Amino acid sequence: MTSTKAPAFAIPPHVLYRQVDGQMVLLDLDSERYFGLNEVGADMITRLTDQPYAAALASLTSDYEVDPNVLHRDVTELVEALLDAGLLERAEGSP
Amino acid sequence: MSRGELQEHRIYLADDRKLAAYRAALAEVVKPGEVVLDLGSGTGLLGYLACEAGAKSVIAVDGGDIIAAAREIAAANGYADRIIHIQALSTETALPTPADVAVCDQIGGLVYDAGILAFYADARKRLLAPGARLIPAAFEIMLAPVTFEAGRKAVDFWSSRPGSIDVSPIHPLAANTEWHYNPAPEDIEKLAGGKVLASFASDHDDPIKGSATFEVEVPGSFDGFLGWFVSRLSPSVTLTNDPWSPDRLERWSNFYALDKATPLSPGDCVRLDLDVRPRLSLVSWSTTVLHSDGRTHRSRQSTFNSSFLSASAVNGFVTDQPVGTSERSELIRQVLDMIDGRRTQRDIVSLLSDRVGTDFASPTHLENFVRRVVKLNSRDLM
């Protein structure tokens, strides 16, 4: 059974991450490569790994005062890039 | 050279136990007429011992200014014609001839933390003759859960209120820091016997992973793990920084704190999963405490979480983000552009002083800046 209250995404165990001055540094231990996210990207990932998908999108839309379609596209692009890089994984019930 | 560097080299030179161990190992491994590579040579001590053991020549490589002192010491001891000195990191230079033996004491407190693994892995590929022997040849990493008041205090200071100031934002950094201590045996107590977490050759620079479960033998506060190495220098010579060993060398051991002190009793168990990344200079330690009454405590800690404090420091890591430019990087570029084989440092300072205005406290500060950039540019064969 899936829960709609659970975050849709998680940062996998082989990735260490840390917020620094709002930005996020991720270290993929499999490839031993560092990656950086700017403040907006870091905020998106923090919310997506902390809240259900719909709630994360709603709060981002509200806080950034942005067209929901534009935000959805930006979030999708970032999530796909991070999934491809192995820096993010889908949790149960993710879109 | 700083007072601190001199003190560091004095301690290395004055450690009779280390000296005796390397002397015996070199005598055992080096064959007359061979070429020995002394990596991170410092004052050149190990190179002189290699000469004593019969080496035809020694190539001493060190990135620091200490190598100038090493040349003087070599001359004073009659080895000037047998030792070639190269001021560079070994990973950024080539050798005039491949070496038959390499010797290195860049072992730190837990092997990974002073560079020997990366140096030897690279040397094996580029700098050594086929079948060359390494001193040390192999290592064991050992850890034990400990009660260690000094280590605990160093971490928990950051959850106190010195001068009524809340410094607790720093506590997570402190808890993820690797601490270096040289404790007397009476100042630290093992809650369970030390275990080997990993064994590997000295040219291994892949991840080092190991797990162990410790059954608590002595009641006490579980403050964290103490880590030490056993270094096999040669077939019959070993060296360790085990604080409880009567034969230990004068070297710190590494303390990895638990996120919060936890009282333990016999019957409790501690599981440790260690993940060491030599190429990243990074250690992660995951701890699971299983109390005999069924309670558990888990923590996942890593020096990754203590290795930088600000966004500007992130630029020190290789990420996929573009590296930003700064006024300082532009100034460095200007100095490098002025280095043309004809201008002197004085010429460069003079040209630059017209451009920098009041950015530097004094002409001397500008001269020091130029000297540092020129020095970076000129490391080469001495």
Domains and CATH numbers, chain B: 3-105 (3.40.50.150), 138-309 (2.70.160.11), 327-378 (no CATH)
B148 confidence band (pLDDT: 50, 70, 90)? very high
Decide which of B373 and A3 is more confident: B373
- Tokens for B45, please give them: 């001590």
Compute how many other C-beta atoms are within 10 angstroms of the C-beta atom of residue B310.
9
B381 confidence band (pLDDT: 50, 70, 90)? very low
B4 confidence band (pLDDT: 50, 70, 90)? confident
Note the pLDDT of residue B77.
93
Q: Which chain A residues touch B311 with a CB distance below 8 Å?
A: 20-23
Residue A1 lies in a domain: no
Helices (H), chain B: 3-14, 16-29, 45-52, 66-76, 116-126, 149-156, 171-175, 311-314, 327-338, 345-356, 363-378
The partner residues of B190 in beta bridges, in order of sequence, read B146
pTM above 0.90, yes or no: no
Has residue B78 got a pLDDT over 90?
Answer: yes
For residue B324, what are the CA distances in angstroms to B312, B313, B316, B330, B353?
9, 12, 11, 11, 25
Collect all residues from B whose CB is shorter than 8 A from any CB in A.
Answer: 207, 275, 277, 279-280, 282, 284, 302, 304-305, 308-311, 313-314, 317-321
B317 confidence band (pLDDT: 50, 70, 90)? low
Residue range B258-290, pLDDT digits in tens: 999 999 999 999 999 999 999 888 999 999 999
Q: Which chain B residues touch A23 with a CB distance below 8 Å?
A: 311, 314
- Tokens for B60, please give them: 């001493």
Decide which of B92 and B272 is more confident: B272
Question: Measured between alpha carbons, how far is B74 from B66 in angstroms, rounded to an integer?
Answer: 12
Residue B270 CB-density burial (10 A; 0-12 exposed, 13-18 middle, 19+ buried): buried
Rounded to an integer, the average pLDDT of B233-261 is 95
Question: Measured between alpha carbons, how far is A30 from A86 in angstroms, rounded to an integer?
Answer: 9
Give the DSSP letter of residue B176.
Answer: T
Residue A43 lies in a domain: yes
Secondary structure, 3-state, B49-100: HHHHCCCCEEEEEECCCHHHHHHHHHHHCCCCCCEEEEECCHHHCCCCCCEE
CA-angle at A13, arms to A10 and A15, nearest 5°: 85
Provide the domain count of chain A. 1
Has residue B380 got a pLDDT over 60?
Answer: no
Q: Which chain B residues touch A20 with a CB distance below 8 Å?
A: 308-311, 313-314
Cβ–Cβ of A20/B304 closer than 8 Å?
no
Q: What percent of chain B has pLDDT over 70?
A: 94
Has residue B377 got a pLDDT over 90?
Answer: no
Residue A76 lies in a domain: yes
Please tell me which residue of chain A has the smallest CA distance to B281.
Answer: A32
Residue A34 lies in a domain: yes
Question: Measured between alpha carbons, how far is A43 from A36 in angstroms, rounded to an integer?
Answer: 12
Optimal mutation site among A11, A14, A15, A18, interface B, most CBs of chain B within 10 A: A18
Residue A82 lies in a domain: yes
Cα–Cα nearest to B309, from B195, B143, B170: B170
The partner residues of B62 in beta bridges, in order of sequence, read B87
**Helix A53-64 and helix A68-85: axis angle, to 10°?**
130
Cβ–Cβ of B320/A23 closer than 8 Å?
no
Q: Which chain A residues touch B305 with a CB distance below 8 Å?
A: 16, 18
Cβ–Cβ of B302/A16 closer than 8 Å?
yes
The backbone region for B44, taken as left when phi is positive above 0, alpha when psi lies in -120 to 50, beta otherwise, is: left
The complex's ipTM works out to 0.85
For residue B75, what are the CA distances in angstroms to B52, B67, B81, B85, B139?
15, 12, 8, 12, 34
A21 confidence band (pLDDT: 50, 70, 90)? confident
Cβ–Cβ of A36/B275 closer than 8 Å?
no
Mean pLDDT of all residues belonging to chain B: 91
Please tell me which residue of chain B has the smallest CA distance to A35.
Answer: B319
Decide which of B127 and A7 is more confident: B127
Cα–Cα nearest to B142, from B25, B238, B77: B238
Confirm if B319 and A25 have CB atoms less than 8 A apart.
yes
Cβ–Cβ of A25/B317 closer than 8 Å?
yes
Question: Measured between alpha carbons, how far is A76 from B212 in angstroms, rounded to an integer?
Answer: 42
Has residue B44 got a pLDDT over 80?
Answer: yes
Has residue B247 got a pLDDT over 80?
Answer: yes
Which residue range is the domain that position A63 belongs to? 9-90
> Any idea which residue has 């003759």 for tokens?
B129
Confirm if B135 and B104 have CB atoms less than 8 A apart.
yes
Q: Which chain A residues touch B280 with a CB distance below 8 Å?
A: 27, 32
Question: Measured between alpha carbons, how far is A60 from A75 in angstroms, rounded to an integer?
Answer: 10
Question: Measured between alpha carbons, how far is B146 from B288 in angstroms, rounded to an integer?
Answer: 15
Q: Which chain B residues touch A32 with a CB distance below 8 Å?
A: 207, 277, 279-280
Cβ–Cβ of A32/B313 closer than 8 Å?
no
Torsion of CA B98, B46, B3, B181, to 10 degrees: 110
Compute how many other C-beta atoms are within 10 angstroms of the C-beta atom of residue B199.
15
